[in-house]
Structure 1
C-alpha cells in the first residue's frame, strides 16, 4: 500500500507539472525572468546582453531562482539543466560534470571551465563545494575555449557571488534535516570607508549522514563542512576598481564505501565496510582583480592562488568485513587503502576590452597557470585497527603496513593567448568569433620508492626519480552567426573547437594494464579535441508569457577520456577513445499563465557512438557516463496570503535517462526519477520553508565503474529552514 500511494503521489505531481504546460526550465532558465519580473542579463559571450538575445545555449539562475529552488550545491542547479549531469562518487573531490556527451573522470582535467567571480578554478577537486551568497549562475553548453578559457571543451559554468553593498545589510539562514543535521549560512556587507566596501559570507553544515553502514551500525556519510569568504572592493575614482577576495573551505566526511555488483541497477546490498574511512579536504584561495575603464575601453588583470589538500582512507576491494573479504579468502589477510592529493596553483589573466561603441567589439588577452601537484596512492594490510592516512612516504611499520604504494609529483605550466570579436553587420545580423591558442607543458617525476615500483616481465621497469615531460597544444576557434528576423526571435548557428590537455597516469600503470589485458591505458593519456556544429532558435512573446528555445548539435571528439581502476596496484587511471561521434538536441519551453505561477519543461537528448578503439568489439558502443536523455519539469507558485506575507510552493522533477558507464557497455542504469519540493511563507524580512530532496526516496547507484564498483546515491533528505534579512 505504501508503494502504491507513493506511485500515485508521484504521478499526481508529475502529471500536474506536465499538464499545466509543455514548458521548460533548463536551457535558458526563463522562469528566473518571470520571478524577477524583468530580463535576465548574462555574460555568455563575454559582454552583457539579455538572455534571449544571446546566440548560445545558456541556462541562467538568478538569485531569486537560487532561493526558490533551494540551490545549495552544484548538483542542485545541474539537475535543473537539460543535457547536463553530475556524477558524485567515492570522495568529495570526485564529482564529474557531463555536458552534451563530453565527460570527465577521476584525476582528469574537467569537462567544463568553472569561473567563480572572474577566476577560473584550476583543480577539478574544487568544484563540488557549498554554494552560498550567490547572485547568479550561468551554464554554457558547447566548446567555449575562445571565450572562457582552459578546459571549456564541453562548456563553461560561470558563478558570480553577491557584491559588497553601499549600506549595511545581512542575512542569516538556519535549518535542520533528517540526517540529524543542522546548518547555518549568513552574510554581512557594507561600507568600511569612503569608496571601500566589504562583504563576508560563510556556511556550516553538520550531519550524521543518510546512508547506513550495517556492519558498523552507523551512517557512512557524515559531514562537517565549513566555508568562509571575504571580499573587499575599493573604487578610489570613477572607472578604477580593485577587488580582493579570500576563501577557505574545510570538509570532513567519509569515502570509499562501495559495493561490488555486476548490474548497476542492483541496489540490494547495504554498505558493510569495516573501516569508517576518512575524507578530509581543505581549500585556500586568494585573488585580486584590478580593472580600469576609460574612453579607450577597459583593462583587467586577475591574479589567483589556490592550495588544495585532500586525504582519503577506507576499505579496499571488495569492501566487506575482513573475514568476508575476497582477499582474506585467498591470502588470509584483507586490505584497506589511502590516497593523498596536494595541489598548489597560481594563475594570471590579463585582458583588454574595446569600447562597446566600436563597430567591431574586441577582446584581447593572455593567460598563464602554474601547478605543483603531488599524489600518492596505495594499499595497506588491514589489521582491524582502523585506517591510517598515508601522505608522502609509505607506511612500513606498525598497524596497517604498506602492501603497495605509488607516488608522483607533477609541475605543469600552461599559457594561452586569445582574441574575441563581435561584429554587428546590420541591426538584424551579427557575427561573433573567438580564437585561443593553448600550450601546456607537463613534467612528471616518479617519487615511488624502487621497492614499490611495478615490475612486469616484458615491460620497462620504472625508476625512482625518473622525469617524464610532454607538451600539449592546440588552437580553439569559435564562430557564431546570429539573425533576428523580428525582435523576439533569434536564430543562430556556428562551429567551434574545444581542447582539453593530456597528462600522466601514475608511473608504471601502462605495463600493469597490459599485463591484465586492458587496452587503451598507458602511462600517458592524450589530449582531447572536440569539434561541434550547432544551430538554435530562441523565441519569446512580447509579454514574456511564453518562451521557447531549442538547439541541435553534432560533435566529433578525438581521445575522449574513460576511467580504469587497476586493482593490482590500486590506481585510478585514464584511457582514451580515439574517435567518437556525439549528436543531440535540447528543447525548452516556459509558460507563465498568471502572475506568480511559472511552469516549465526541458528535454535534452544525447546519442554517442564509439567510432574507433583498439579493441574492435567496442566500436559502436556508447561513450561512458553518458545518459540518453534528461527531462526537467517544474512548478513555481507564489501567492499573497496577507499584505505582507506570501505563500511559496515549488516542485522540480528531474528524470535521468538510461546511462552507460564503461567502454564495454557492460551494464546500463535504468532511468532515475527525482522530485524535490519546497513549501513556505515569506515576507521582505523573513521566510520559513519546509523542503524535501528526493521526495519519493528513489534508491539508485550514483556511479558504476569498471570492476563492478557502485556508489550509493543519497536517499531522501528533508527538513525545515528559516531566514532573516537585516
Structure 2
C-alpha cells in the first residue's frame, strides 16, 4: 500500500489547509502530525488552537501557482481582498477592513506581518517567495497583536535555514508576458551558523491594453525580491535569528476603462511602486530555569508611489465632449516603522498556581512615521500640491494564562493594555494630536472531547484607535458647508463571541475545523466622502457607525481512497449596519438629509465564499488537481449600491515529478469569467463619460482573466 502510506503522510502534513498534496518520497509520520502555527505566543498545533485560523502551506501555494497573497486568500473563509491598484493590497476579514488609501493616514483593521516585520497596510510586499506558510487569524487579536488587528491578522512565515546544503531554481512562463525566475540556496556555515537566501524576479505585461498609447503593458507587474536569513547558535542558551528583506516593485496602474473592459484610453497611465528595506533580529534565551526570554526588534523603511489618470481618457477622445479636461493624481509616501517586543514565557515544568498554569508576559513598543506628498495636475478648480505628516507611537503590556482545570477542561485568559499617541500636521495648517489608552483581551474555555477532538468557546475584544480626518478639515477651509462633526472619528471596539470544534476522525482520514461567531462593533470606523460640484473634488473622511456580523467558517480534507482526496472551505457571513447615515457620494449642498443605511449589508462582505478541490494521484509521479472557487455578490462601497457579481472559477494543475525535477502545467479561471475587483459609481453630479452625456453609471477594475502557464523547478 505505498500509495496509502504516502497519502496519509501528506494528509497529516497539510492537516486543515484547504488543500492536500502528495510528496515524491515517503514522509516519517512522526514529523507530519502537526501543522505548527507560529504567530501565537507559543508554537502550537493547528488542531490544538482554540480560534478560527487558516494555514496555507507551501503545497497550497505551489498548487495554486500563487506568486502573491492575492492569489491565495480565497482559500480562507470570510476573507476578502480589494484591488484598486496593480495588486490587491487591502484585506477584509468578516467584513471588516479598509478598501483604499489616498490622502489621510490609515489605521488598518487587518495586520500583516512577514517574518516578524510589520507590513500592515503595505500588502504589495506580501509575495510568496520561499514562504513556508500563510497564517490567517480571524477575529480580534487584542492580546496577541493589538491596535492593528481588530479584524484579524495575516502572518507570512518564510523557510528557515537548513542543516544540510539545499538549493532550488525555478522558472515560470505564462500568458500575458508572464516570467518568473527564482532561486534559493540554504545550508550551514560551520557548526553554529545556518543561512538561507532567496531571490526572485517577476514580470508580466498585465491584462490591459491601452488603445491611445498603443501599448499592452501600462498595467504591468515588475517586481524584484531578495530575502536572507541567518540562524546563529551562540551557545546552548542563546539563539539569534537575523532576517532581511528587499522589495523593489515598479508596477504600472492603468485599470479603468470608460467602456468597462480591459481596453483603456488613458494618456497619463499611473504607477504603483514600492521600495522596501526591512530587517528583524529575534533572540531566544533559555538560560533561566523558570522561563525563556524572547526578544524581537524589527524595522522597515518604505517609499511608495501611487498615481492614476483621473479622467481615464485623453483630450479629444470624444467629439461631443462639452467640457474636455485632463487630470492626474499622485501620492508619494515615505513610511518608517520600528517595533520592539520582549516576552517571558514559562518553561515546561515551571507552571504557577499549583503547577496548573503556564504564563506569558510581555512589553511592546512601536513607532511609525508616514509622510505624504500629493500632486494633482488638473484643469479643474482644485489642483496643486499637498503634504501631511503622521507620527504614531504605541506602547503596550500584555499577558496570558493557560490553566489546566482538569484532564478535559482548560481556561485561557489574556489581556493587553496599549497607550497610543498620534500627531498629524499638513501643509494647510492642520495640527492635531490624539492620545488614548486602549485595551483588549480574550477568555477561552476549552473542552477536550477526545484525544483528537477539541471544543472551545471564545470571547475576545479588539480595538482600533480614533483620530483626525485631516483631508476633510483641509477641505472645510474652502467649502464652508462641511460640518465640524466630520473632523474627528472615535475609537472602534469589537466584541467577538465564537464557538468551535476541530479535530480528526476515521483514523485521520477526515480532518476539519468548524466555527460559528457573532461580532458586535461599537463606533465602527466607516469611510465616507463628500462631493463638491463647485470644484469637482471628492473629500474623504472616517465616520462612526454601529454594526454586527454573524457567520460560519468550515475547512476540511477527506481521504476518500488511496488515490483520491477532497478538500473544501466555506465561509458564510451576514454583516450589516445597525445604525449609520451616509452622504452617499452626492453633493453635500443638496444632500441636507443624510441617507440611513440601517440594515444594509456592509461593503466587501460577501454572503458566502467557498473552495472545493480534488487531488488525484494518477501514478507514482503524476498528480492532477481540479479546483472550483466561488464568491457571492457584495457591495463595493458603503457610499453607493453597486455590487460585484457573484462568480465561480475553475482552476486545474497537472504536476509531474522526475527525480529532482518538477514540471507543471496549470490554468486559472479557465472559463474566462470577468471578476470585478474594484468598483466606482459616478452620480448625476459628476459622471465620467462624455459619450453618454455624463450619465450615472458604474465602472469596474477586473481581475485575472483565463491564464495558462508552465513551471519547471529543479532541487539539489
Aligning the two structures, in what range does the TM-score lie when normalised by the shorter sequence? 0.7 to 0.9
Deviations along 1:140-198, one digit per CA (max 9) or x if unpaired, are: 11111202334121122222111111221111111111112211111111122330111
Match of residue 625 from structure 1: 604
Cα gap change, 1:431 to 1:173, in 2 (>3 Å)? same
Deviations along 1:44-101, one digit per CA (max 9) or x if unpaired, are: 6432332222221111123333323323211222111111111122345x62211112
Cα gap change, 1:98 to 1:192, in 2 (>3 Å)? same
Deviations along 1:195-222, one digit per CA (max 9) or x if unpaired, are: 0111111110122222222332322311
Query: 1:323 aligns to what SS in structure 2?
Result: coil
Q: What displacement does 1:517 show?
A: 7.9
Q: What displacement does 1:243 show?
A: 1.1
> 2:176 and 2:233 mapped to 1: Cα distance?
45
Which moves more between the two structures, 422-431 or 698-707? Answer: 698-707
Cα gap change, 1:327 to 1:113, in 2 (>3 Å)? farther
Match of residue 224 from structure 1: 222
Q: What displacement does 1:380 show?
A: 0.5
> 1:78 and 1:667 mapped to 2: Cα distance?
23
Match of residue 19 from structure 1: none
Equivalent residue for 1:689, pick from 641, 649, 664: 664
Match of residue 117 from structure 1: 115
Deviations along 1:599-639, one digit per CA (max 9) or x if unpaired, are: 02222111122111243521111112211111111112334
Deviations along 1:682-715, one digit per CA (max 9) or x if unpaired, are: 1341101111222221113211245445322221
Cα gap change, 1:479 to 1:213, in 2 (>3 Å)? same
> 1:327 and 1:515 mapped to 2: Cα distance?
31
Match of residue 505 from structure 2: 541
Q: What displacement does 1:247 show?
A: 0.8
Find out whether 1:346 has 2:338 as its counterpart: yes
Task: Give the structure-2-normalised TM-score.
Answer: 0.86
Find out whether 1:703 has 2:682 as its counterpart: no
Q: What displacement does 1:657 show?
A: 0.7
Q: Runs of 5+ in structure 1 lacking a partner?
A: 1-22, 262-266, 383-399, 449-462
Find out whether 1:638 has 2:597 as its counterpart: no
Which moves more between the two structures, 302-311 or 60-69? Answer: 60-69
Match of residue 4 from structure 1: none
Equivalent residue for 1:319, pick from 312, 332, 337: 312
Deviations along 1:237-290, one digit per CA (max 9) or x if unpaired, are: 1231111111100011112532469xxxxx457322122322221111021111
Q: Is contact 2:519-2:550 (8 Å) kept? A: yes
> 2:342 and 2:662 mapped to 1: Cα distance?
42
Query: 1:66 aligns to what SS in structure 2?
Result: helix
Which moves more between the two structures, 61-70 or 672-681? Answer: 61-70
> 2:157 and 2:563 mapped to 1: Cα distance?
26
Equivalent residue for 1:41, pick from 32, 36, 44: 36
> 1:160 and 1:176 mapped to 2: Cα distance?
26
> 1:241 and 1:410 mapped to 2: Cα distance?
36
Match of residue 83 from structure 1: 78
Match of residue 184 from structure 2: 187
Match of residue 723 from structure 1: 713
Equivalent residue for 1:662, pick from 637, 645, 655: 637
> 1:256 and 1:525 mapped to 2: Cα distance?
33
Query: 1:148 aligns to what SS in structure 2?
Result: coil
Find out whether 1:29 has 2:32 as its counterpart: no
Q: Is contact 2:141-2:462 (8 Å) kept? A: yes
Match of residue 495 from structure 2: 531
Where do residues 590-605 of structure 1 align in structure 2 (5 Å cutoff)?
A: 590-605=557-572
Equivalent residue for 1:467, pick from 431, 436, 457: 431
Q: Is contact 2:676-2:702 (8 Å) kept? A: yes
Match of residue 679 from structure 1: 654
Deviations along 1:627-668, one digit per CA (max 9) or x if unpaired, are: 111111111233434xxxx11221222111111122245122
Q: What displacement does 1:584 show?
A: 0.8
Query: 1:102 aligns to what SS in structure 2?
Result: coil
Q: Is contact 1:328-1:334 (8 Å) kept? A: no
Query: 1:379 aligns to what SS in structure 2?
Result: strand
Match of residue 173 from structure 2: 176
Cα gap change, 1:526 to 1:82, in 2 (>3 Å)? same
Aligned-residue Cα RMSD (Å) equals 2.9
Query: 2:126 aligns to what SS in structure 1?
Result: coil
Q: What displacement does 1:681 show?
A: 0.2
Cα gap change, 1:325 to 1:65, in 2 (>3 Å)? same
> 1:664 and 1:571 mapped to 2: Cα distance?
12
> 1:518 and 1:634 mapped to 2: Cα distance?
52
Task: Give the structure-1-normalised TM-score.
Answer: 0.84
> 1:521 and 1:677 mapped to 2: Cα distance?
52
Equivalent residue for 1:212, pick from 205, 209, 220: 209
Query: 1:197 aligns to what SS in structure 2?
Result: strand
> 2:397 and 2:675 mapped to 1: Cα distance?
44
> 2:410 and 2:417 mapped to 1: Cα distance?
24
Q: What displacement does 1:426 show?
A: 1.5
Q: What displacement does 1:511 show?
A: 4.6
Deviations along 1:565-616, one digit per CA (max 9) or x if unpaired, are: 5665766734234201111112333211123532022221111221112435
> 1:509 and 1:559 mapped to 2: Cα distance?
20
> 1:722 and 1:56 mapped to 2: Cα distance?
38
Which moves more between the two structures, 538-547 or 400-409? Answer: 400-409
Find out whether 1:252 has 2:250 as its counterpart: yes
Higher relative contact order (CA 8 A, sep 6+): 1
Deviations along 1:441-460, one digit per CA (max 9) or x if unpaired, are: 11111124xxxxxxxxxxxx
> 1:136 and 1:686 mapped to 2: Cα distance?
22
Find out whether 1:101 has 2:89 as its counterpart: no
Deviations along 1:446-481, one digit per CA (max 9) or x if unpaired, are: 124xxxxxxxxxxxxxx3xx4210124311011111
> 2:421 and 2:660 mapped to 1: Cα distance?
53
Which moves more between the two structures, 518-527 or 289-298? Answer: 518-527
Which moves more between the two structures, 208-217 or 511-520? Answer: 511-520
Equivalent residue for 2:406, pick from 414, 418, 426: 426
Query: 2:122 aligns to what SS in structure 1?
Result: helix
Equivalent residue for 1:142, pick from 139, 144, 149: 139
Find out whether 1:64 has 2:64 as its counterpart: no
